[in-house]
Amino acid sequence: MAADPERKLLSLPRPGPALRALQCVGALWTLPNTLLGLTAGLAGVCFGARPRWRRRELAWVFEHWPWGPGGALTLGNVILLKGTTLDASCVTYEHRAGRCLHPAVRLGDHERAHVYQYWLLGPLFLPVYLVCGGVSVRNPFERAADHYALHGRGWWPWTRRQPNRPNPNNAANG
């Protein structure tokens, strides 16, 4: 899948000291998952994978990871990327399942949402993720990651989301 040059990056605020401290606590909490991801990533290095720290995604990214059907897999603070760039455009799970028409999203934004989810659940993430449906449109973690990639907020599956309201300043709305 090719990168979409028209797709804008989500704007990310610079974290203050309190948020930075919470990020560190989350990274420590999910360390068992990160170690699993590093082990898988380093095994892929023998077959051509290239590790790189991506500050934007707050994760080690192993590009050209040799296994899997495509896209990416996040394990803690590690993203195993089948392709060459997280700037690639991809469709949302709901769009792929034919439930709605969404614009393409940036793969890195979707995967960053999973990093945040790992920080909150730590070692509980993988069992909860699998109980919620694994890699499928039924999984609320995947739908939340898509929502975050679309809107820049709402990465937690059980956050109350405001429906998209029409812009009151739009001439078409009166």
Average pLDDT over residues 104-128: 97
> How far is C-alpha 17 from the chain's CA centre?
23
167 — pLDDT class (breaks 50, 70, 90):
very low
Break the chain into its structural domains and give their ranges. Answer: 21-156
pLDDT for residue 169 is more than 70 = no
Please state the pTM of the whole predicted model.
0.84
Residue 117 in tokens? 């989810």
35 burial (CB, 10 Å; 0-12 / 13-18 / 19+) is: middle
In this structure, of 23-37, 51-65, 86-100, 154-168, the range with the lowest mean pLDDT score is 154-168
State residue 163's pLDDT score. Answer: 55
Region for 161 from its dihedrals, namely left if φ exceeds 0, alpha if ψ lies in -120 to 50, beta otherwise = beta
